[in-house]
Amino acid sequence: MLRRRRQILTKVNKVVDAALFGAAFWLTHFLRSIDAIDPQNLIQNFEAYAWLLLVIVPLTPPLLEIHGYYQRPVFGSRRQSLLILGKTAAWLTLAIVIVLFFRKSELSRGVVVFYVPVAVALGFLKDELVRTMTAQRHGTQQARRRVILAGGPVDAARLERTLDLGVFGDVEVAARVDLNELSPERLADLLHRHSVNAVIIAPRQTLFGALERTIQLCELEGVEVWLLADFFQTRISHVTVAEIHGHPMLVFSAGHDASWQAIAKGVIDFAGALAMIVALSPVMLAAAIAVRLTSAGPVFFRQQRAGLNGRPFTMLKFRSMVTNAEQLKQELAALNEMSGPVFKVSNDPRVTRVGRFLRKWSIDELPQLFNVLRGEMSLVGPRPLPVDEVERFDDLAHRRRLSVKPGLTCLWQISGRNNVSDFREWVRLDLEYIDNWSLWLDIKILLFTVPAVFSGAGAR
């Protein structure tokens, strides 16, 4: 119930915020043109730019969400709120400038300059209003949810300490019970006497029989049961509730939930790969011809790489080595410069003259755009390793890098990949990406990849 309520409130907030940031644009234009004598002219002047609301309004909620605006506590830091509002308004201003540039339109500099402070001011006023209303509501007895804490003494005490962190005592503990020692009759009496809204159960030290009886009794009484889903101690995984054909499931996941950011990542992968294939097709055609004319063998190098969760797929590259490179690899094993299961050699003698050029400018990687189109790879993600190298992982924790789709570029690529010789450092960068993933992080990695490619810092 609480989750559903939060979801509804978040949707309402998104609509209000979009309207406020749109209103801020109108207000900025109004203040800039307030010296106009004729109100009719003032309205007509804004009508010429009203179409920009089609840019501002839809972009506002996702930009705020990217910066964590809707994950903040109601009574959180005002400084953090101002910072997020300022960043969002700045990005919207940049979007407005870009759209106007491509449309060859002009807008008063005053509107562009003052939009950020006006939008921040309106957003901050809304935050303060919500803060005040929430404080007043939580201060009333009717707004508090009366609960019974149920579970073993240790778990119940720990849960109560957590609830004490609730804002302005919005949860009131009416009683504390140990379900293993409590009869159904006694529990029913507590429910009636205290007019309880819900029973919160910390189930670790509770027998399943007692747990089932409690849930059935509360179901009969029409009282909610909140079951704390922390049966097992996990270091990375987060718990979510799912459903399969009507059966409720607790999901322990170390990855990322399906979200609009994940959907947007998939759209960007497909559209970005398709656009790059079209734009770079002359380069790819020239590379294919050069490989074909300068060395015997196929144009493309195909190799089984480990994809999502280790599932093999055929990765494509322009062939940059001699055709018997895999056989020669055993002879060069002593020259391996990378610790762990990965094989890397500077000035690899197996690389052809054209291949060295393709690698320097990362042109040999371009066919992987087709892997992205097929959904086997992403534009950003841990680099895919050969299946045989993955099978030689000596630390099971390293396999967590397989929990997301492999990518064309990653943190390792832009962190000086030729200077990383320890496989554990490589994995650390991949896990840092996975644990801190966001759409904005992907965009930053893509932007930093461009200068890395043009600097010629390709694979050696």
Per the prediction, the chain carries an average pLDDT of 81
> So what's the pLDDT on residue 418?
53
What DSSP character marks residue 370?
H
Letter for the amino acid at 66? Answer: I
What's the pLDDT at 74?
73
> In 64-111, at which residue ranges do the beta strands (DSSP E only) sit?
none
The whole-number average pLDDT for the span 372-385 is 94
Q: pLDDT tens-digit profile of 414-452?
A: 776 556 677 888 888 898 999 889 888 999 999 888 887
Longest Cα–Cα distance in the chain: 89
Locus of tokens 């004490």 = 164
Q: Which pair of tokens denotes residue 436?
A: 């801190």
pLDDT of residue 320: 92
Asked if 92 contacts 23 with a C-beta cutoff of 8 angstroms, the reply is: no
| Burial (0-12, 13-18, 19+ Cβ within 10 Å), 360 | middle
d(CA 22, CA 39): 20
* CA gap 266, 262 in Å, rounded: 6
- Give residue 426's pLDDT: 86
Give the pair of three-digit tokens for residue 175: 């009683």
What is the predicted pLDDT for the residue at 329? 78
Is the distance from CB of 73 to CB of 167 less than 8 angstroms? Answer: yes
Chain-centre distance of CA 12, in angstroms?
A: 22
**Residue 374: what pLDDT?**
93
Specify whether the CB–CB gap between 173 and 160 falls below 8 A: yes
Give the relative orientation of helices 109-138 and 78-102 as an angle to the nearest 10 degrees: 150
| Tens digits of residue pLDDT in 157-208 | 777 776 654 444 467 788 888 877 878 888 888 888 888 888 888 877 677 7
Paired strand residues for 151: 202
Mean pLDDT across the stretch 284-311? 93
User: Computed from CA positions of residues 400, 402, 407, 412, in that sequence, does the dihedral angle turn out positive or negative?
Assistant: positive
Give the DSSP letter of residue 404.
Answer: S
What does the pLDDT read at residue 205?
Answer: 67
Please name which of 311, 326, 319, 313 lies closest in space to residue 354, comparing C-alpha atoms. 319
High-pLDDT (> 90) share of the chain, %: 28
Average pLDDT over residues 63-91: 87
What is the DSSP secondary structure assignment for residue 308, as one 8-state letter?
G
Rounded-to-integer distance, Cα 238 and Cα 147, Å: 25
| CATH number for the domain running over 144-231 | 3.40.50.10700
Give the strand pairing for 300-306 and 312-318: antiparallel
Would the pLDDT of 42 be above 70? no
Q: Which two tokens stand for residue 314?
A: 């055929």
Give the sign of the dihedral formed by CA 70, CA 73, CA 79, CA 82. Answer: positive
Residue in 424, 403, 415, 406 with CA at minimum distance from that of residue 445: 415
pTM to 2 decimals? 0.61
Angle among Cα 351, 354, 356 to the nearest 5 degrees reads: 50
User: Pairing between strand 378-380 and 407-409?
Assistant: parallel
Q: Token pair for residue 448?
A: 């930093």
Q: Evaluate if residue 460 carries a pLDDT over 90.
A: no
User: What's the pLDDT at 37?
Assistant: 45
Q: Which run of H or of E encompasses 100? A: helix 78-102
The backbone torsions φ and ψ at residue 238, rounded to the nearest 5 degrees and listed phi first, read -115, 155
Instruction: Specify the 3-state DSSP secondary structure of 379.
Output: strand
For residues 82-106, average pLDDT? 86
Q: Give the angle subtended at the CA of 195 by the CAs of 189 and 200, to the nearest 5°.
A: 85
382 with 305: CB under 8 angstroms?
A: no
Q: Which residues pair with 227 in a beta bridge?
A: 201
Residues 352 and 294: beta-carbon distance below 8 Å: yes
Domain coordinates in residue numbering, the chain? 2-138, 144-231, 260-454
Helix (H) or strand (E) holding 378: strand 378-380
Can you tell me the mean pLDDT for 75-88?
Answer: 88
Question: Is residue 317 very low, low, confident or very high in pLDDT (cuts 50, 70, 90)?
Answer: very high
Mean pLDDT of 313-338: 83
- Residues 407, 377 contacting (CB under 8 angstroms): yes
- Predicted pLDDT of residue 165: 42
From the list 381, 447, 448, 459, the residue with the least C-alpha distance to 420 is: 459
List of residues 6+ apart from 375 with CB closer than 8 A = none
pLDDT at 381: 94
Per-residue pLDDT at 125:
93
Chain segment 255-295, per-residue pLDDT in tens: 666 677 888 899 999 999 999 999 999 999 999 999 999 98
Q: What is the pLDDT of residue 140?
A: 47
